[in-house]
Amino acid sequence: MLSVSFFDIVKAHKDLQGQVTKTPLLRSDALSGAAGADVWLKLECLQKTGSFKVRGALNKIASLSEAELAKGVITASAGNHAQGVAYAASLKGVSALIVVPKTAPETKKAGIKKYGAELIVHGDNYDEAEAHAYQLAEETGRTFVHAFEDDQIIAGQGTVGLEALLEEPDFDTIIVPAGGGGLICGIATAAKAINPAVKVIGIQTHASPPWYYSFREGRLVDVEYSDSLADGLHGGITQGNLDLALKIVDDILLVEEEHVAQAMHWLAKEHHLMVEGSGAVGVAALLQGAVSGIAGKKVLTIVSGSNVDAGKLAKLIARYE
């Protein structure tokens, strides 16, 4: 059972000072006009390793004992968590073994290798990669660092929200990409502690919608998956994260793949930002008017990562020019 608290997030925020980038909080005039709201972007796409995931990875690895560190760490990831773990392990001089699915983008695999981790490509999706990583953890004795079902990981990811709210504490709605659930659970924990009235809304794509259906039914629901530009949100969720989210998250919405592509192009054109599909889903929802009840309200959306293959992004930009 997960038991992350606001205190854990505040402590993580203090401990991560100087280790992570305090990313910009930018008011978007263009998106505010399109959405009819006062819209701000938290630019975790400018974070070290190219995504927010490094926050949780650093926080988790700092919590491990010397004995655990000596055995090395292992994780499974669609790519961004893997880079965060590889980076955090490299700072500690710790051996890291990373398992990614075949669908992981080349830019993310290159980032993992850059930080000195050992990379294994296994499985057609995150769930298969994770199962293999658990097997290897049993065989090698390495400490498994879960991408989202972990109090220390969630506390680290929650510092994204705390950092934004310390700068602008009066947001009415916070829109968060929902993958495994570490980010949305962390941000919701921080946000609700500061302002219980704030609404926290998760965004997924129709290609990977486990949060959408499980949240509505209050239990884990099997769904069908298909290829998605938002590869970082691709995969199943756990009972622990669902139970926590049901207490503190207000809603989960879905966007179409075409809208994600348009949002990636829009961010490049309007703000000169290189953003992966997972990081653009909140912008996609706002551009399409998918989020109700925000007219005239102050809205924060998390732009969570920048690890997209340059060639893929170039093709998307060319498509809409």
Structure confidence by residue, pLDDT tens digits, 285-318: 999 999 999 999 999 999 999 999 889 899 988 9
Q: Percent of the chain at pLDDT above 90? A: 85
pTM recorded for the entire structure: 0.95
In the residue annotation, 228 being an active-site residue is answered as no
Q: What's residue 107's pLDDT?
A: 81
Sheet strands (E) in 110-257: 118-121, 143-144, 173-177, 199-205, 251-255
* pLDDT at position 108 over 90: no
> In the CATH hierarchy, which top-level class contains the domain 6-51+151-320?
alpha beta
Whether CATH 3.40.50.1100 fits 53-144: yes
Name the helix (H) or strand (E) containing 97: strand 96-100
User: Could you state, in order of their start, the residue ranges of all structural domains in the chain?
Assistant: 6-51+151-320, 53-144
Fold match, 6-51+151-320 / 53-144: yes
In the residue annotation, 304 being an active-site residue is answered as yes
* pLDDT, the chain, mean: 95
Relative orientation angle of helices 151-167 and 182-194, to the nearest 10 degrees: 50
Please compute the mean of the pLDDT values over residues 123-139 and round it to a whole number.
91
Band (pLDDT 50/70/90 cuts) for residue 1 is: confident
Residue 117 phi/psi, 5° resolution?
-80, 155
Structure confidence by residue, pLDDT tens digits, 8-63: 999 999 999 999 999 999 999 999 999 999 999 999 999 999 999 999 999 999 99
The active-site residue, picked from 48, 53, 60, 192, is 53
Please compute the mean of the pLDDT values over residues 160-184 and round it to a whole number.
97
